[in-house]
Amino acid sequence: MTVQEYLSGIAGQLVHELEPILKIKEVTRNSELLGSYTEAAVRRLIRRVVHPMRVSTGAVIDFPMPTNLQQVDVVVWAPFPAPGIFDIDDFALVPRSSAFGLMEIKRSNYSGVDSELDDFDKTAATLAAAPHPGVSDARHPGMGIICVLEGKASARLQKLFDARRAVAVFEKSEATSAEAAVRAQDVLRLINFLHYVSWRYRMQGVQSGYPQLVTS
């Protein structure tokens, strides 16, 4: 067994719980239901990797508050330095200083998804917590996740893959293919990104002094 084969096997086991995403179309073609199930399944996987951090859908809040908050599929956060508000089940509005990583989830590479992920990539850094001044932290805090890459990625989407700003978990040679393969390298990149997000949180917590909320 080669190292590549070993890592591919590990990657397959890591995302085994996401395989029902490939089957749900046999039950429904409703795009909202497909998207909701996919997001919930991916958030469950993320929780397993970043525990004890919190994983929510909702929005990031900051001052001054915008007229319309941008909905975010996944906010990886901790109640440090500030707790979330309207925090219930999978939903929360999270202060920017506590939002250490953001993700946008797409079930497949449908028409226009490359534009949506590109827009998310451009805004993620402005929504996530800024790096601590005492920590060397130059990585991008956002990641786009496509669960099933159907056919060839567009040039715009491939650019995001190459920059490690997006990953695809499974791939099919075409949308109608029955079989899907695990994109092992992308799965491992996703896990590494989640470890980076956890590291951001831990590094904030070990700095000298302790953060306090502004009271006046």
**pTM of the predicted model over 0.85:** yes
Q: Which of 34-38, 49-53, 175-179, 200-204 has the lowest mean pLDDT?
A: 175-179
- 147, two tokens: 């669960």
Residue type, 127: L
Please give the Cα distance from 180 to 45 (Å, whole number).
Answer: 19
Let me know how long the chain is. Answer: 216
Query: What is the average per-residue pLDDT within 108-129?
Result: 97
pLDDT tier at 206, thresholds 50, 70, 90: confident
Write phi, then psi, for 54 (nearest 5 degrees). Answer: -95, 150
The distance of Cα 211 from the centroid of its chain, to the nearest Å, equals 26
Please give the Cα distance from 86 to 57 (Å, whole number).
Answer: 11
pLDDT tier at 215, thresholds 50, 70, 90: low
Residues 6+ apart with CB under 8 A from 32: none
- 38, two tokens: 């996919």
- 103, two tokens: 């993700």
Please give the Cα distance from 148 to 22 (Å, whole number).
Answer: 8
Measured CA angle at 36 (ends 154, 112), to 5 deg:
20
pLDDT of residue 214: 62
